[in-house]
Structure 1
Amino acid sequence: MIYIDIERICAHISFLTLFSVTLAHWVAPTDRPHKLNGLRGKGMTVAFICTTVFMLLRWIQTKHLPLSNLYESSMFLSWSFSLFYVATRVGNSNDWSGAVVAPGAMLTHAFATSGLPEDMQQSTQLVPASQSHWLMMHVSMMLLSYATPLCGSLSAISFSIIYFDRGGRISNSESSNRFSYDGGVASMGMTGANHNKENTNAEKAFFYSLSLNLRKCKLINQLDQWAYRTISLGFSFLTIGILSGAVWANEAWGSYWSWDPKETWALVTWLIYAIYLHTKITKSWGREGPAAVASTGSFLVRIRFLGVNLSGIGLHNYGWLTQ
């Protein structure tokens, strides 16, 4: 009973901390003030520690890796987001990545603690097919293959929004036109203080727009690189997860592949991210093409994690909704 109470306390503290960190990222600018950046990192560290304690207590209580139902898997996924957040901040003064990772951790945690009924949050015994040493390898790799590509895909979506945003280009054009216009007026006879004031204002507007566009280009490059790195890591996790799952399936069901809905969607997701990596390596689709592919991958990850499980069909249905 004491384990359950501590678990609930840890779950509530981690959720409140994740909510606060997410709010801090989206309400305040990501690059200032520096003190707020430090508080964000400390807050996410607290959430990571609380979720880790929760997982350890559940592990001690059930005597197996706590991945037996949708609640435990969602908490593990939230823990993965938190781990990813803490890891990306090590030696990195830029805090923009947290604006992508923190909401993922918070929403996943909220779904587990508030979106699932109370009976699904209770610890359960593993079904016979899950009582295997492959459980830790396969399920943990698959859950990590949800978190990392999803972070990369969200970065690619953010990259697409900023890249195709015409606001910066319009302001640059307007500033340039204004600068030319002011110069033209000056050449037609504007003199003295008015001439200097107009030129000064035009120059300020032009250089402000130029600085804004430079920062936007820097952010686009960072998002693009981070998306590529995280999706590459997630692709490795997904590959290991699929291969270990095939070996486990042959051990439990007598066949390596049965075209189960979960297996099929995992294969589709693997192919989509393989296309993304191929286009990034060959640079055949520019920047827009891979970003669109990665955006599709985020949709497939959600189908693979929730859609298939909540549909109640397939060999992978047990242990999620069937208690």
Structure 2
Amino acid sequence: MNSYSEMVSMTESKNESLPFVVRLDRFDVVNNPGTTAASDYITRFSIIDGNAVIKAQVSMNKIFVYCGVRFYQASYDSDNLGSILSVSSDRWGIPVTYTGYALLFFSLFCLLIDSKGTFRHCLRQLSHLDDADNKLEKGASKRSRKTVLVRIILFLLILIPSSSRAQTTVPRETADRFGKLLMEYNDRICPVETYALDFVQKIYGSRSYGDYTAEQVLLGWTLFPEDWSGEPFIRIKSSEMRQQLGIGKYASVNAFFRDGEYILGQPAYDYAQGTNKDAFHKACADIDGKLQMMMTLRQGTPFTLYPYTFPHQRTLWFSPFERFPKEMPKEDADYIGRSFASLFVAARRGDFETANSILDTIAEYQQHNGGNSLPSKGKLTAEKIYNYLPYTTILFIFNLILGLVTLVCMTLRFAKATRPLHILLSLSLLLLTFVLALRWIISGTIPLGNGYETTLAVAWMAQLFVLVFASVHSARHANASNLIQLMCAFGFLISGFFLLVSNISLMDPAIGPLMPVLNSPLLSIHVSFMMMSYAFLAITFFCGLAALVHPRMAGTLQVVSRVFLYPAIVTLGIGIFLGAIWANVSWGSYWSWDPKETWALITFMLYAIALHTQSLPWLSRPRAYHIYMVLCFLSILMTYFGVNYLLSGMHSYA
């Protein structure tokens, strides 16, 4: 592709000739440092308009405009010798559309600031609510409190997995040295410790195996596979698979080989070919993928430990068992192959002093040859702290238990304890803030780039909004402890639920670089507004559930729910249309009827219905209102989870 002579209108199915010629000068794929993962696509081209030659450049989210024609980076040829640009011309449509968006944003904000509006009326109504009928009895017997505490402890003990012990691995000191080395993983340079934790978590479902750390487990499978193949290390989640194959909850590699036959071969093949997509075949394909991951350790291919910086300053990381480029000096290639082989031999014969020395030389090699691909000390420290504990797992257990205990205490009329709940919820918020800050430091981008991070964001915002509401309401109404206690319970349960979801297998917690299309300042603004709306709407959902369980509080909870509904509608509307602006900036199209976009619009319209109590009098009745709000939350689940995992589209990454 060297030139374009036609332009397709974005609104009509007709072709129009461009009044100038476009010539491609150069196309480049820019990779993240030390990896082959693209961070941007850049097209440099010339516009030839008569005798004038105008130099231009476009990349992802950065357009070029000439004579009202907007150029966008759309795609490129597989040989990297051609670039595909999309073009649009809409001189009058863009200002008219953006003016409409501005009026929409203003009208949405008016819902919150209009002194005669329903939202302000709900705030005044909430401030005059009499919660005398909802007062709780003070005090509780020590025996009852001890019973609750004992049950919590027993629950926590159940969560601790049973341990088993493999036969052979390396000492903790050697494993720790290995874990501090750097490697290319998930399209970024990170400590081997991160890869080891992900490996053990994916296969075994925990961060360690018996008394062994993740690094010891990783080296055990790499150096002593014959000893580890008999260990019940592979977690089998599918009960159907366990029943049909006659295996337990944890199986060894050897369990999948019977009479010289690989028992997962045919089911995994059938699933890959699409001939059978049932739960059993899906589970077999999943375990087959994990077994293949384990087999690659024997070959050493995952260990991209050796960087080499080319003369043009581009750094790539290599494993010891791949073909090296011709530009690499022979002494470097020889060292890479020799050092890992020497490490293998030393560890196998139990000479861990020599093994430690080899690991130290590899670390020196990395520092000397890593170039600009090496992470800063600040990033490495943040990642070390991030890897130290399973923070989100601790938080979801803590928050769910606290939320349930708070509800039980309210039901059993235990003593009110709003201040301790404030403190505990604040501590939970601070810890989650700390986790998000660590991810931000490690990745270098705001943690809103995938489903895992946005789930954490919803949990964070829900806690923040509940704390603000509880703090403001307690300052104005000293006798409103019942409502405040309930709101704190909501904060714990909502955040605990979303943190629990972030820990399920569908969510990948691995930290990686942003896709090029997401590398835009509008990402954080658009996603933040969407996540705020989801957090607000989650609170209305829990208000509905609580009202259906405790009808006496239905009237009060309806007012509380409407107080959160209005900012939810405002943030959801702004988030949707900010996304449309971003789409126009990136692709020249405001709306593509992508499943995520469509379901977000459906959600917006469903919840907007609840604002029209005068047109729909039945929504004024507390019970009907709460039932409607509970049912509406199904659209949130579809928008956030269903679209991501059941449908495919531009937003499937989210």
For the criterion TM > 0.5, the same-fold answer is yes
Unaligned runs of 5+ residues in structure 1 are: 164-215
Shift of 1:146: 0.9
Structure 1 distance, partners of 2:549, 2:535, is 21
3-state DSSP class of the match of 2:410?
Answer: coil
TM-score (norm 1): 0.75
1:149 and 2:537 matched: yes
Structure 1 distance, partners of 2:572, 2:399, is 26
Structure 2 distance, partners of 1:312, 1:272, is 21
Structure 2 distance, partners of 1:5, 1:11, is 16
Q: Which residue of 2 aligns with 1:168?
A: none
Q: Which residue of 2 aligns with 1:98?
A: 488
1:273/1:293 contact within 8 Å kept: no
1:131 and 2:131 matched: no
1:149/1:234 contact within 8 Å kept: yes
1:33 and 2:415 matched: yes
User: Amino acid of the residue matched to residue 140 of structure 1?
Assistant: S
Unaligned runs of 5+ residues in structure 2 are: 1-379, 475-480
Please give the residue correspondences for 1:4-153 in structure 2 after superposition, counting only pairs within 5 Å.
4-8=383-387, 9=389, 10-29=391-410, 32-34=414-416, 36-91=417-472, 92=474, 93=481, 94-112=484-502, 114-116=503-505, 120-153=508-541
Structure 2 distance, partners of 1:4, 1:15, is 21
Please give the residue correspondences for 1:289-304 in structure 2 after superposition, counting only pairs within 5 Å.
289-304=624-639
2:403/2:489 contact within 8 Å kept: yes
Q: Once superposed, which parts of structure 1, at least 4 consecutive aligned residues long, lie more than 6 Å away?
A: none
Deviations 1:226-283 (A, max 9, x none): 110111111111011011000011122221111111111111111111100112x556
Pair member with larger Rg: 2
User: Structure 1 residues 5 and 89, CA, compared in 2 at 3 Å: closer, same or farther?
Assistant: farther
3-state DSSP class of the match of 1:317?
Answer: coil
2:403/2:490 contact within 8 Å kept: no
User: Amino acid of the residue matched to residue 28 of structure 1?
Assistant: C
Structure 1 distance, partners of 2:624, 2:470, is 29
1:284 and 2:284 matched: no
1:241 and 2:575 matched: yes
User: Structure 1 residues 289 and 33, CA, compared in 2 at 3 Å: closer, same or farther?
Assistant: closer
User: Amino acid of the residue matched to residue 410 of structure 2?
Assistant: P
Shift of 1:161: 4.2
Equivalences, count: 261
Q: Which residue of 1 aligns with 2:641?
A: 306
Please give the residue correspondences for 1:213-252 in structure 2 after superposition, counting only pairs within 5 Å.
216=552, 219-252=553-586
Structure 2 distance, partners of 1:221, 1:6, is 46
User: Amino acid of the residue matched to residue 115 of structure 1?
Assistant: I
Give 1 or 2: higher strand fraction. 2
Structure 2 distance, partners of 1:78, 1:130, is 22
Shift of 1:116: 3.0
TM-score (norm 2): 0.38
Deviations 1:119-145 (A, max 9, x none): x21111111111111011100111111
1:158 and 2:546 matched: yes
Structure 2 distance, partners of 1:14, 1:52, is 12
Q: Which has the higher contact order (CA 8 A, sep 6+)?
A: 1
User: Structure 1 residues 12 and 291, CA, compared in 2 at 3 Å: closer, same or farther?
Assistant: closer
Give 1 or 2: higher helix fraction. 1
Deviations 1:65-102 (A, max 9, x none): 10111111111111112112211220423311223332
3-state DSSP class of the match of 1:66?
Answer: coil
Q: CA RMSD, aligned part only?
A: 2.1
User: Structure 1 residues 4 and 20, CA, compared in 2 at 3 Å: closer, same or farther?
Assistant: farther
1:149/1:298 contact within 8 Å kept: yes
Shift of 1:49: 0.2
Q: Equivalent pairs: percent with the same residue?
A: 28
Deviations 1:25-64 (A, max 9, x none): 1221276413x33222211111100000111111112121
Structure 1 distance, partners of 2:648, 2:490, is 32
User: Amino acid of the residue matched to residue 3 of structure 1?
Assistant: A
